[in-house]
Amino acid sequence: MTSSAVLRLGTRNSPLARWQSGWVASQLCERGVDVELIPITTRGDVVSGALGSVGGQGLFTKKIQQALLDRQVDLAVHSLKDLPTDEVPGLALAAVPPRAGMLDAYVSNQWDNLDQLPDGSIVGTGSLRRRTQLLRLRPDLEIRDIRGNVDTRLGKLDGGEFDAILLAEAGLVRLGLEARITQRLSPEIMLPAVGQGALGLETRADDAGVRELLAPLDHVATRAAVTAERQMLAALRGGCLAPVGAWGRVVDGVLSLDGVVLNRDGQERVFASHTAPLEEAVDLGQRVADNLLSQGAADLISSLRSSTSNRDSAEPSQE
């Protein structure tokens, strides 16, 4: 790509994906780079059933990645929690911008916080990770699957189908809907998904020109945190269907990582936490995974897969 060429940015066409890609485009435009957004419909955008029933891995990313490999686009912007941990030959994660809010958000029109929800309340979520952690706290609640973008899910809440729903904080904030957040769920209540709140800017590995353009958008602390999280998930071989939570963060120059794995009803749980220098992010992720595995995480993940039904969903996009 020459300096005078227009950089073609592949993006899903949902409101949140368009916002995320638009933000990246604006950052590049401020640096004198012309950007054209290329909408791409992924399999995850068109499936009508639960994501888990059609295979959760890469539903929101594979088609965009193929467009990169086919040189139809020069750059892809992913919600990083949608991006599988398996490397794709010929592609590279060129930049990870500063992370937005990574917490899960509780949204309700009647009850000010999770503790106030009456017994038997109906809570909507499309995530096994959220479902199992919520059931561990409140086994009395009725958890129902919910699909669709942010506006669709909020509409179902407003229409009375649910007493509360759980969404990603980052998606609500990015769409200007922060006022809908009733309670931010702290990591002590619910560990977020791997990569939640972070963006991944992917290019062809041999496209040195685009990688150089993206280098200023890479945030060292965020990349270290999500690298540790993604290595933990890869070592667990959990994929999108496993109730795996992770929280990587840098405090006073030290990288910390918490990880959790639960069974279907949330009553069995293993947890691990370690620290390391930023440059040892991969080793940190592996160490946390090894600790979880030593406590029986593999058995929890295996038992979940053997009992997964079509009503179960993969970890949804930030929407």
Question: Token digits for 267?
Answer: 């009553």
Direct distance between the N- and C-terminal alpha carbons of the chain, in angstroms, rounded to an integer: 33
The three-state secondary structure class of 59 is coil
Question: Token digits for 128?
Answer: 């096994």
**Whether residue 82 lies in the annotated active site:** yes
Question: Average pLDDT of 143-154?
Answer: 94
Question: Average pLDDT of 31-48?
Answer: 77
Question: Average pLDDT of 171-179?
Answer: 96
Please give the Cα distance from 128 to 253 (Å, whole number).
33
Phi, psi of 47 (to 5 degrees): -65, 140
Residue 161's pLDDT is 97
Strands 244-251, 254-262: pairing kind: antiparallel
- For residue 107, the surrounding DSSP H or E stretch is strand 104-107
Residue 56's pLDDT is 52
* Cα–Cα distances in angstroms (integers) from residue 62 to residues 132, 151, 189, 226, 294, in the given order: 27, 25, 32, 20, 33
- For residue 45, the surrounding DSSP H or E stretch is helix 43-46
CATH numbers and ranges of domains, the chain: 1-97+198-218 (3.40.190.10), 104-191 (3.40.190.10), 220-314 (3.30.160.40)
pLDDT digits over 222-235, tens only?
Answer: 999 999 999 999 99
Residue 2's pLDDT is 43
- Is the pLDDT reported for residue 179 higher than 80? yes
pLDDT digits over 272-315, tens only?
Answer: 999 999 999 999 999 999 999 999 999 998 887 666 544 444 46
Please give the Cα distance from 50 to 71 (Å, whole number).
31
Q: Which of 34, 70, 74, 82 is catalytic?
A: 82
Among 117, 120, 111, 110, smallest CA distance to 142 is for 120
